[in-house]
């Protein structure tokens, strides 16, 4: 067990290194001096040269990478070209918002998805099943921006129930979180339903019923834990897609988060900022996967043994 975790940790560190390298290479193979590109055609050549030196861009690539890496380990991601502030400080501010948004979205998606999935599986082919599965189809097929704009249009613009955009207390996160979680809720509920229906056919469910368990007991003590195994895997994948979706949601609802920073960085051709945000989101995904792995091995004793 312990060995397994250490192995996974090392793997995660390796992946993170690979990611850092990949980001670095991708951002550097763009031809031309990024400072010059950013400052436009009419910039003073002397200023460009000064700034190039200032950001260390005149050094060989390997030195740049080493500096960047050692900085990142210490929490220093360099200075943003376009905003002139340390990337770490910019991200610290944005991270709280993204975390709040993603956390609320995950909470919404998973609680709603799992509940609806269970109800649909238990009442298979019933009215609620059809309703939930219809809704979940809308969930998996509606693009994030569509959900976001619809919610914004109906609940903020027309009904004035919630703020249209910006960050002003927790209530300004409600619509973005629903928009962001909508997709995930759909796929989780479909997965929970299909897994649970399959598991309710398993022999050990008969055993549980033969022991005198009522339906609730069968469900809670025997079916759910088994059904959660693939769901945990899916949740791990969804951390990644939630962060992807956060880019869109944050843009639509003008939330100052990591995603919006990334978009800003691209539009401003701001390499340190882009590097920082990409590395940071990837780190979250990798840590999330690590946690999901641990949770999985807690839930499934068969994995524990194989370690």
Partner 1 sequence: MFGKKKKLMAAGEDVRLKSQIGEAETFWDLMRRLAKENKLAVFSAVVILLFILAAIFAPFLTPYSYKDMDLLNRLSPPSGAHLLGTDEGGRDILTRMLYGSRVSLMIGVLPTLLGMILGAALGIIAGVIGGKTDAIIMRIADITLGFPSMLLAMLIMYTLGGGLMNVVLTLSLVNWASVSRIVRSEAIRLKQNEYVEAARAIGVKKRVILWRHILPNCLPTLIVLFTLNVPSSILTESSLSFLGLGIQVPDASWGLMVNMGRQFLYIAPWLSLVPSAAIMLVVLAFNFLGDGLRDVLDPHQKNQ
Partner 2 sequence: MEKNMLEIRHLSASFFTQKGEVKAVNDVCIEVPKGKIVGIVGESGCGKSMTVRACMGLLKYPGRVVGGEAWLDGKEILSLPEKEKCAIRGDEIAMVFQDPMTSLNPVVRVGKQVTEALRLHRNMPAAEARREAVAMFEAVGIPEAKKRLSSYPHQLSGGLRQRVMIAMAMICHPKVLIADEPTTALDVTVEAQILRLMKKLCSDGTSVLIISHNLGVIAQLCDYVYVMYAGRIVEQADTFTLFEEPLHPYTRGLLSSVSSLRRGGDKLDTIPGVVPNLLHLPAGCSFSLRCERCEEKCRECLPDLMDVGDGHKVRCHFAGRGEKA
SS3 212: coil
Minimum separation from the CB atom of position 214 to partner 2 (A): 5
User: In degrees to the nearest 10, what's the CA dihedral of 51, 57, 63, 67?
Assistant: 50
| Cβ distance to partner 1 smaller for residue 6 or 137 | 137
On whether the CB atoms of residues 23 and 275 are closer than 8 A, the answer is yes
Between the two ends of the chain, the Cα-to-Cα distance in Å is: 6
| Cβ distance to partner 2 smaller for residue 4 or 244 | 4
Q: Which partner in partner 1, partner 2, none is near 152 (CB below 5 to 8 A by kind)?
A: partner 1
Q: What does the block give as tokens for 111?
A: 């609680």
Q: What does the block give as tokens for 249?
A: 């949601």
Q: Which residue has the tokens 């009904």?
A: 159
Minimum separation from the CB atom of position 283 to partner 1 (A): 9
Minimum separation from the CB atom of position 224 to partner 2 (A): 10
Minimum separation from the CB atom of position 264 to partner 1 (A): 11
Q: Which partner in partner 2, partner 1, none is near 287 (CB below 5 to 8 A by kind)?
A: none
**Adjacent-strand bridge partners of 223:** none
Q: Where are the alpha helices (DSSP H) in the chain?
A: 2-28, 34-39, 45-54, 61-73, 87-122, 127-141, 144-151, 174-199, 203-210, 215-217, 224-252, 258-267, 271-299, 301-306
Q: Which partner in partner 1, partner 2, none is near 245 (CB below 5 to 8 A by kind)?
A: partner 1
| Cβ distance to partner 2 smaller for residue 217 or 268 | 217
Q: Which partner in partner 1, partner 2, none is near 195 (CB below 5 to 8 A by kind)?
A: partner 1
Q: Which partner in partner 2, partner 1, none is near 194 (CB below 5 to 8 A by kind)?
A: partner 1
* Positions in the binding site for partner 2 (CB under 8 A): 201-204, 206-214, 217, 221-222, 225-226, 229, 299-302, 305
Minimum separation from the CB atom of position 244 to partner 1 (A): 3
Minimum separation from the CB atom of position 219 to partner 1 (A): 19
| Cβ distance to partner 2 smaller for residue 200 or 273 | 200
Q: Which partner in partner 1, partner 2, none is near 262 (CB below 5 to 8 A by kind)?
A: partner 1
Q: Which partner in partner 2, partner 1, none is near 146 (CB below 5 to 8 A by kind)?
A: partner 1
CA distances from 87 to 76, 78, 237, 277, 279 (A): 8, 6, 27, 9, 12
| Length of the chain counted residue by residue | 307
| Cβ distance to partner 2 smaller for residue 20 or 218 | 218
On whether the CB atoms of residues 271 and 81 are closer than 8 A, the answer is yes
Minimum separation from the CB atom of position 295 to partner 2 (A): 13
* Positions in the binding site for partner 1 (CB under 8 A): 11, 14-16, 18-19, 22-23, 26-27, 29-30, 137-138, 140-146, 149, 152-153, 157, 191, 194-195, 198, 201-203, 230, 240-241, 243-245, 247-248, 251-252, 259, 262-263, 266-267, 269, 274, 277-278, 281-282, 285-286
On whether the CB atoms of residues 245 and 144 are closer than 8 A, the answer is yes
**From CA 87, how far away is CA 264, in angstroms rounded?**
12
Minimum separation from the CB atom of position 296 to partner 2 (A): 11
| Cβ distance to partner 2 smaller for residue 42 or 302 | 302
On whether the CB atoms of residues 247 and 262 are closer than 8 A, the answer is yes
**Axis crossing angle, helix 271-299 with helix 224-252, rounded to the nearest 10:** 170
CA nearest neighbour of 174 among 260, 92, 265, 253: 253
């Amino acid at each position: 067990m312990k060995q397994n975790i250490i192995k996974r940790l090392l793997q995660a560190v390796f992946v993170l290194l690979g990611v850092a390298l990949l980001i670095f290479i991708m951002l550097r193979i763009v031809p031309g001096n990024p400072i010059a590109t950013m400052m436009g055609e009419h910039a003073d050549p002397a200023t460009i040269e000064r700034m190039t030196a200032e950001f260390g861009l005149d050094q060989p690539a390997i030195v740049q990478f080493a500096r960047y890496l050692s900085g990142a380990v210490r929490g220093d991601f360099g200075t943003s070209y376009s905003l002139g502030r340390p990337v770490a400080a910019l991200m610290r501010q944005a991270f709280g918002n993204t975390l709040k948004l993603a956390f609320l979205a995950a909470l919404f998606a998973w609680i709603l998805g799992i509940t609806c999935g269970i109800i649909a599986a238990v009442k298979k082919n019933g009215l609620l099943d059809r309703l939930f599965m219809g809704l979940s189809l809308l969930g998996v097929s509606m693009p994030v921006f569509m959900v976001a704009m619809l919610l914004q249009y109906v609940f903020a613009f027309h009904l004035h129930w919630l703020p249209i955009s910006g960050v002003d207390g927790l209530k300004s996160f409600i619509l973005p979180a629903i928009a962001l979680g909508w997709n995930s809720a759909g796929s989780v509920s479909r997965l929970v339903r299909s897994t649970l229906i399959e598991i309710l056919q398993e022999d050990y469910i008969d055993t549980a019923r033969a022991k005198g368990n009522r339906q609730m007991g069968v469900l809670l003590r025997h079916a759910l834990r088994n059904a959660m195994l693939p769901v945990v895997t899916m949740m791990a994948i969804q951390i990644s897609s939630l962060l992807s979706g956060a880019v869109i949601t944050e843009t639509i609802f003008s939330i100052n988060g990591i995603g919006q920073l990334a978009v800003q960085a691209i539009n401003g051709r701001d390499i340190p900022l882009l590097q920082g945000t990409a590395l940071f989101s990837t780190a979250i995904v990798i840590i999330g996967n690590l946690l999901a792995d641990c949770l999985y091995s807690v839930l499934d004793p068969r994995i524990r043994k194989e370690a």
